[in-house]
Amino acid sequence: MQSRWENGILTLVLPKKIDAVNAPAVEAEIREYKDQYAANIIVFDFEMTEYISSAGLRVILRLKNEENDIRLIQVQPAIYEILEMTGFTEMMEVSKAYRLVSLEGCELIGQGANGKIYRLDRENIIKVYTNTNSLAEIHHERELARAAFVSGVPTAIPYDVVRIKEGGYGSIYEMLNAKTYIQLYKDGEKSLEELTELSVDLLKRIHSLIVKQSIVPDIRESALSWAMFLKDYLPEKPFEKLIALFDAVPIDNHMIHGDYHFRNIMVQNGESLLIDMDRLSRGHPIFDLAAMYNAYCGFGCVDPGIVETFLGIPYTTAAAIWRRSLECYLDTRDEKRLQEVEDKVRIISYTRIARHWIRRNGLETETGRQQTAGVLQMLQELLPHTDSLLF
């Protein structure tokens, strides 16, 4: 049995098979290692293990009753099902083994706040998460996607979780010949007007749904934290006005996507499907409009290249999509009304952008300081003229 010892963690690589014949010998060897090392955590590595009988399960159970922290890693899917069925996954930390996938030669087709979407092959796409330790995020997004799907939102559901050769983890979706709205526009298959109308229809459908509070997080709580973050970066009166505006937004259990734009919507067999659900929340639609504004315009307010790189289209085109989306959503072309709602949107947008840049060391460079100062200045100019974020 191979072993690794590091920082109080004893890792033991279990044999290919553990059954009634060799279970006593496996247990005896494990106990020898236990006696040799005063481990705080014992990790059983199942990477080589293809079969475990009830006798093997009892070995692990006995050790679990003696030790505070036992973990199972690299568990093959068939064994994981047994552990889940018998309740072991509730008694201890159990991590599946994930097949390895390489991104070499894969086309980048989409991008969200926490990951990128690649075309893996003709039939499948893969979302690769920015955070390399993202298993918890992946499982959380799967729950949110399932909640949206059950609610009637056309959502792509991942069918597999894989380990990425270049680092991190990803979710695989079966999306045969599907294209993002951006691709459809670039390929000349649909006009911006058609795509904008389709996206707004879908967005309104999302916003019409009431979601379960226990599953989907409240965006209002996150938004208040964005505003509170700026306490040390705004003068006292503008900061107090900002907090008052955010605090006055009522609790709302309508669904919002949280990262809605043309690269997060795909079309398969004529049906639009959302592919990035990790920011699914509940709250007032103003927060979803602000997220849209960020994607199309907000981050480009001081550097249009940010939006052009993110969406893969010129900034002027992205800005046009935003404006037409707002017109369709509000069902008006009245300039005064559009500007009134956009100013509310921009307050949330600039709050979030300023926090984003500051948290990512934006104040450590001259360019970063200028960009952050510019966003904070625009925010302060909007605040005196806005008495509510509602519309």
Kindly state whether residues 155 and 45 are assigned to the same domain: no
Choosing from 69, 97, 125, the residue where a domain stops is 97
> What SS3 state is found at 332?
coil
Tokens of 30: 């494990």
Kindly state whether residues 55 and 147 are assigned to the same domain: no
For the chain, how many structural domains are there in total?
Answer: 3
**209 and 152 Cβ atoms separated by less than 8 Å:** yes
Question: For residue range 177-199, what is the model confidence (pLDDT) as tens digits?
Answer: 889 999 999 999 999 999 999 99
**What pLDDT, on a 0 to 100 scale, did the predictor assign at position 87?**
93
Asked whether residue 390 is domain-assigned, the answer is no
Kindly state whether residues 232 and 372 are assigned to the same domain: yes
Q: Where are the beta strands (DSSP E) in 131-288?
A: 160-164, 169-174, 179-180, 255-256, 265-268, 271-274, 281-282
Question: For residue range 44-66, what is the model confidence (pLDDT) as tens digits?
Answer: 999 999 999 999 999 999 999 99
Kindly state whether residues 315 and 274 are assigned to the same domain: yes
**What pLDDT, on a 0 to 100 scale, did the predictor assign at position 170?**
92
Choosing from 49, 65, 97, the residue where a domain stops is 97
Q: Give the number of other CB atoms < 10 A from CB of residue 225.
A: 11
Kindly state whether residues 74 and 115 are assigned to the same domain: no
Q: What integer is the mean pLDDT of 272-278?
A: 90
Kindly state whether residues 106 and 49 are assigned to the same domain: no
Give the domain CATH number at 19: 3.30.750.24
> What SS3 state is found at 222?
helix
Burial class (CB in 10 A: 0-12, 13-18, 19+), 233: middle
Q: What integer is the mean pLDDT of 200-208?
A: 97
Please report the sign of the dihedral spanned by the C-alpha atoms of residue 345, residue 351, residue 354, residue 356: negative
* C-alpha span between 210 and 257 (Å, rounded): 13
Give me the chain's average pLDDT, please: 93
Asked whether residue 391 is domain-assigned, the answer is no
Q: Which residue range forms the structural domain that includes residue 142?
A: 101-174
Give the domain CATH number at 361: 3.90.1200
Residue with tokens 């079969």, as numbered in its chain: 51
Kindly state whether residues 68 and 113 are assigned to the same domain: no
Q: How confident is the model at residue 122 (pLDDT cuts 50, 70, 90)?
A: confident
Kindly state whether residues 57 and 183 are assigned to the same domain: no
**348 and 389 Cβ atoms separated by less than 8 Å:** yes
Asked whether residue 305 is domain-assigned, the answer is yes
Q: How confident is the model at residue 275 (pLDDT cuts 50, 70, 90)?
A: confident
Kindly state whether residues 193 and 329 are assigned to the same domain: yes
- Whether 111 has a pLDDT exceeding 80, the answer reads no
Asked whether residue 210 is domain-assigned, the answer is yes
Kindly state whether residues 59 and 135 are assigned to the same domain: no
* C-alpha span between 170 and 109 (Å, rounded): 15
Kindly state whether residues 340 and 219 are assigned to the same domain: yes
Best CA proximity match to 294, nearest among 324, 261, 265, 320: 261
